[in-house]
Structures are given as C-alpha cells and as structure tokens.
C-alpha cells in the first residue's frame, strides 16, 4: 500500500484541521501523521488509527531549530519512502516541502489555509515573501483552500498559476453536517447554559469563535459591540476561543472593555462549541485574513446568519443579504451597523436562516470534500 505523510506544525492542527480525514484516507493508503508532540498527537493516533512521528517545529523564524527539524524530516522520508507528502500550516509547509524535495518524494503537496504574512510589512514581509516562494518551489502542487486565496497567490507572484489547484468548492476538510446540527443540543442544555451566562430570552446573542487575537478583528468587534451595548441593553457578545497574547496581543483598551462590559462574555477555549452556537443568533467574524473559515461553515450549518469580512473564504460561503452580511475589512462602523441591522430586522434575520444550513450541505459536506481529495491523490502517477 502506498504511503501518505501528512504534516502540521503543532498536533492540535493535525487533530482538528484534518479530523476524520486521515481515518478515511487510511482505507486507500498507509497514512502517517507528523507534528510536534502533545496530548493532541495521542488523540490523533487513537481517533484516526494512524501511526504518528514527533518532529518539533516552531511557529516563528528559528534557523538552527528549523534546520534540525528539516534534517529529522528528511531522515524520516528516506526511511518511510512515502508516495505523497502533504503539508498544512506555514512552518510545516516550508520544512516539510524542503525535506521532501531533498528526499526525492515524488508528490509534494502543500495546502494553503491562509497567509499570515499578508498582515506583515517592511523587511519582515520581504523575508516571509521569499520563504513563501521557496516553499512553493519545493512543492509539486500547491492547494489553496479557497478561490480567493488562489487569486491572492497569483497576484503576489508566489508561483505559476498552473501549479495551483483548489479542490472541490474550497475547504481543507469540509464539514461534518451531521455533527454541526442544532438537534444535538437539548433544550435543557441551552437553558442551563443561558442561565450560567446570564442570557435572557429577549437577548440578541452575537458570537465570535476563533483565536482571540488582533488578526481576527477582535479589537474592532469589542469596540463596536461596546458602543452597541450602550444603546441596546438586550444584546450579548460571546467570545469563544483561546488567547495568543505572545503571538498577536489585543490592544490594552480592548482587554479592559472585555473585563468591564458585563454584556461581553469571554468563555475561553471550548472543546464543543455547539451549545454556544445553539444559544446564539448571529456569528460575528470580522477577520482580516482567512484561508477557508471553518467557523463560518460550522455556524451556518447550525442555522446562524453570519456577519463576515469581505475576504477570501468568507465571501465564498456568505452571500450578502442572503445568508448573512459582508462588511469591509477593519471597518468598525460597518460592523456596528451590521449588528444593529440584525437587531432591528428580526424578520430579515429569520429569512437568512432559511439559506444557512442548506447551502453548506450542498457545497461543503465532508464526504464530498474527502472524495475530491482522494480523487486527486489517485490521479497522481
């Protein structure tokens, strides 16, 4: 059986970004997962039923450690002799593609699920641009996970258009529509969670799910909601997700508002987001950049209209005025107006709900995405 090696920088990405996919692919190939060490890697072994290897990689530029990791990957590839090496996340992509090229792996695929460097400027941007081009040059195929991202790569001249391919309608892993279904959250659970968070029946609940960082538009979201909450007493904002203050901290004034405004409910990282989505009315997702936003898929699948930035991925899932609202990037005023619209027009909001779940099932069902990836693997000779 031919081998496929899938690599992510940290184990939580291997567990979450590709949940279920490795088990599916292992019916057709021998699948091996590689990432840094952690509890999530043990979960991958157990849940996906695949062999794993530990190669520690950093998420920042660390030349000595990067060289060591590249050499370790090279040795692994030489001993395992994979047919395909498929990388995800920036650092795993650079080191994995270089090591795979040196080891003469025939098919070297790198999925792009967002470009953090787009928010960088100056000499650091030049360096990151060079690294990006280098990564792509080592790969045999680059797989952007949205059509907008494919266009950005072409505009930035990172590689030739013929080296790029979007699989299916976009998305790295599709969505398990049977899992993201409001039917799985009981009325008792919803009532209990509302009581715990102090949410009453006539509250309009906005929710954000993701890393609580600057790049996700949290500074604008908190500031816009803070103004809105002074006019609208019956609204809440739930923030679900981990902090990454060491990588991308929020403004001090944003941190202060989160603490001071009792209509903002920061609940941290949650293993199961479904109960929080089930008690909400609207997803607010004013991110600066995405590859293909899983959160928008998940919330749409659970019948939430979404307010999203006009960026690739988001504007492919959401059609303005149909299943949500699209606002300009980094535009606090437009974000506040969109939230106000959702409060002022309950009938329009309910009408949007009719076009949320059905669109996701039609375009991004997990089985469809997995089969599209499998078909591509099988086309490789």
Do 323 and 374 lie in a common domain?
no
CB of 1 closer than 8 Å to CB of 19: no
Do 113 and 205 lie in a common domain?
no
CB of 161 closer than 8 Å to CB of 182: no
CATH number at residue 294: 3.40.50.2000
pLDDT at res. 245: 86
> Which DSSP helix (H) or strand (E) runs through 325?
strand 324-327
Do 341 and 280 lie in a common domain?
yes
Do 150 and 289 lie in a common domain?
no
Do 137 and 243 lie in a common domain?
no
Domain count within the chain: 2
pLDDT at res. 117: 85
Q: How many CB atoms lie under 10 A from the CB of residue 95?
A: 28
Do 139 and 261 lie in a common domain?
no
Q: What DSSP string runs through 200-224?
A: -TT-EEEEEES-BSGGGTHHHHHHH
307's CB contacts (< 8 A; 6+ apart) are 206, 282, 283, 284, 285, 286, 324, 325, 327, 335, 338, 339, 342
Do 131 and 167 lie in a common domain?
yes
Tokens found for residue 247: 């990588």
Mean pLDDT per segment of 10 residues, for the chain of length 381 residues? 97 93 97 96 96 95 95 98 97 97 98 88 92 97 95 96 96 95 97 97 97 96 98 97 90 97 98 97 96 94 98 95 98 98 97 96 95 98 91
pLDDT at res. 247: 81
pLDDT at res. 377: 98
Do 206 and 87 lie in a common domain?
no
CB of 291 closer than 8 Å to CB of 269: no
Q: How far is residue 237's CA from residue 145's CA, in Å, rounded to a whole number? A: 29
Do 189 and 305 lie in a common domain?
yes
Do 240 and 138 lie in a common domain?
no
Do 85 and 160 lie in a common domain?
yes
Q: How far is residue 280's CA from residue 299's CA, in Å, rounded to a whole number? A: 10
Q: What is the residue range of 341's domain? A: 182-364
Do 207 and 337 lie in a common domain?
yes
């Amino acid at each position: 059986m031919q081998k496929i090696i899938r690599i992510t920088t940290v184990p939580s990405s291997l567990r979450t970004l590709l949940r279920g996919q490795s088990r599916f692919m292992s019916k057709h190939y021998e699948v091996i997962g590689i990432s840094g060490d952690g509890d999530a890697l043990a979960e991958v072994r157990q849940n996906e039923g695949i062999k794993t290897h530990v190669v520690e990689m950093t998420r920042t530029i660390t030349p000595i450690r990067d060289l060591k990791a590249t050499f370790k990957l090279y040795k692994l590839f030489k001993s395992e002799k994979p047919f395909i090496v498929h990388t995800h996340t920036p650092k795993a992509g650079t080191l994995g593609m270089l090591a795979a090229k040196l080891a003469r792996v025939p098919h070297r695929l790198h999925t792009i699920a967002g470009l953090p460097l787009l928010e960088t400027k100056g000499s650091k941007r030049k360096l990151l641009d060079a690294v990006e081009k280098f990564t792509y040059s080592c790969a045999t195929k680059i797989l952007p996970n949205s059509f907008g991202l494919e266009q950005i790569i072409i505009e930035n001249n990172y590689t030739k258009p013929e080296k790029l391919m979007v699989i299916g309608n976009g998305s790295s892993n599709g969505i398990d529509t049977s899992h993201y279904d409001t039917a799985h959250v009981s009325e008792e659970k919803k009532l209990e969670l509302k009581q715990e968070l102090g949410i009453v029946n006539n509250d309009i609940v906005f929710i954000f799910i993701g890393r609580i960082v600057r790049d996700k538009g949290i500074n604008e979201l908190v500031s816009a909601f803070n103004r809105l909450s002074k006019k609208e007493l019956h609204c809440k904002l739930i923030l679900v997700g981990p902090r990454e203050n060491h990588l991308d901290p929020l403004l001090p004034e944003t941190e202060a508002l989160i603490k001071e405004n009792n209509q903002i409910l920061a609940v941290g990282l949650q293993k199961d987001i479904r109960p929080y989505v089930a008690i909400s009315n609207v997803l607010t997702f004013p991110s600066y950049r995405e590859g293909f936003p899983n959160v928008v898929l998940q919330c749409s699948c659970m019948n939430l209209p979404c307010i999203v930035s006009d960026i690739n991925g988001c504007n492919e899932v959401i059609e303005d005025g149909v299943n949500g609202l699209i606002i300009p990037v980094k535009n606090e005023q437009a974000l506040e107006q969109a939230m106000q619209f959702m409060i002022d027009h309950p009938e329009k909001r309910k009408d949007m709900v009719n076009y949320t779940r059905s669109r996701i099932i039609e375009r991004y069902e997990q089985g469809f995405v997995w089969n599209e990836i499998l078909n591509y693997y099988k086309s490789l000779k």
